[in-house]
């Protein structure tokens, strides 16, 4: 199996190193192509109208001066022009990617970029408590979770979003399928360093958590698995859309 590994926290992030270790338990053919710097919150954005640096660190590690989606694009064209990877793993993100987060997530964005290129994509994230970067759950059950994930037959143009529970809840209890929660209340906007400038601070989240959603299972010490589709069409609303012929003037 040929595996491409990327992330959005940057090529020197602890979570990426852990994911590389897990990937190498599945295959000897693993290549890492990750952003040179932190690209959190970039979603599936790409770098247009500027040059993108592509630097070879060694035979299997490359840094990219762009977004996670850039990493996947460049890797496919520069490293795998004749034979695509069988799997793209993105993460392990420093913090959960659940509910409304997934639209912002560069971790999920990279997996989506894989999916639209016909490659299986899996996004992995570790929930932290009180800002403490503790990957103990990944270290405990990451291999078992990933082995279970790669056995799942996912349809084309879909990705699997995996989140590990916070370490303070103790040993991981298991794996659960989960729908996306709705958790965004608003955003905290903070003053910037310069007059008239601002920074987007932490997301203000709703206290209520819907049963059987990703946040629900994480709160209870389980790994959540959520399949995501690229097709965001609200098919149930299509019958409500007007079908009308327009007169040509």
Domains, in order of start, for the chain: 2-182+211-232 (3.40.1210.10)
pLDDT above 90 for 184: no
Terminal-residue alpha carbon distance, the chain: 59
Query: Do residues 62 and 75 make contact, with C-beta atoms less than 8 angstroms apart?
Result: yes
Mean pLDDT throughout 206-228?
95
Give Rg (Cα) of the chain.
19
The position carrying tokens 């059950």 is: 141
pLDDT cut 90: percent of the chain above it: 86
- CA distances to 109, 111, 157 from 45, rounded to whole Å, are 8, 12, 17
Q: Using DSSP, state whether 203 is helix, strand or coil.
A: strand
* 160: Cβ contacts below 8 Å, ≥ 6 apart: 111, 121, 122, 123, 149, 152, 154, 225, 226, 227, 228
Question: What is the per-residue pLDDT for 199?
Answer: 86
Mean pLDDT throughout 216-221?
97
Mean pLDDT throughout 228-240?
94
Query: Which residue would you say has higher pLDDT here, 129 or 214?
Result: 214
Q: Among the listed ranges 27-31, 108-112, 244-248, which one has the minimum average pLDDT value?
A: 244-248
Confidence of residue 249 (pLDDT cuts 50, 70, 90): low
Q: How many other CB atoms are there within 10 angstroms of residue 108's CB atom? A: 27
Backbone angle region of 127, left / alpha / beta, with phi > 0 → left and psi within -120 to 50 → alpha: beta
pTM for this one?
0.93
Query: Which residue would you say has higher pLDDT here, 1 or 132?
Result: 1
Confidence of residue 15 (pLDDT cuts 50, 70, 90): very high
Return mean pLDDT, the chain: 94
Q: How many other CB atoms are there within 10 angstroms of residue 148's CB atom? A: 14
Q: Among the listed ranges 19-23, 114-118, 202-206, which one has the minimum average pLDDT value?
A: 202-206
Q: What are phi and psi of 194, to 5 degrees?
A: -110, 150
Query: Do residues 225 and 159 make contact, with C-beta atoms less than 8 angstroms apart?
Result: no
């Amino acid at each position: 199996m040929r595996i491409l590994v990327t992330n959005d926290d940057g090529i020197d992030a602890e979570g990426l190193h852990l994911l590389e270790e897990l990937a190498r338990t599945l295959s000897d053919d693993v290549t890492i192509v990750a952003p040179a710097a932190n690209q959190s919150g970039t979603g599936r954005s790409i770098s247009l109208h500027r040059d993108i640096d592509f630097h070879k660190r060694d035979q299997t590690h490359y840094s990219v001066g762009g977004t996670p989606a850039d990493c996947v694009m460049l890797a496919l064209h520069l490293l795998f022009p004749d034979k695509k990877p069988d799997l793209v793993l993105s993460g392990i993100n420093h913090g959960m990617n659940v509910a409304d987060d997934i639209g912002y997530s560069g971790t999920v964005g990279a997996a989506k970029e894989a999916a639209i290129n016909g490659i299986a994509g899996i996004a992995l994230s570790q929930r932290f408590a009180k800002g403490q970067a503790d990957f103990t759950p990944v270290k405990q059950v990451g291999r078992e979770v990933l082995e279970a994930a790669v056995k799942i037959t996912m349809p084309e143009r879909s990705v699997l979003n995996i989140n590990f529970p916070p370490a303070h809840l103790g040993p991981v209890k298991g794996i659960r399928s989960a729908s996306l929660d709705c958790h965004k209340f608003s955003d905290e906007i903070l003053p910037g360093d310069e007059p008239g400038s601002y920074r987007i601070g932490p997301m203000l989240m709703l206290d209520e958590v819907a049963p059987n959603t990703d946040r629900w299972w994480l709160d209870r010490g389980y790994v959540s698995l959520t399949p995501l589709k690229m097709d965001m069409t609200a098919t149930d609303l299509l019958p409500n859309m007007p079908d009308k012929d327009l007169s040509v003037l």
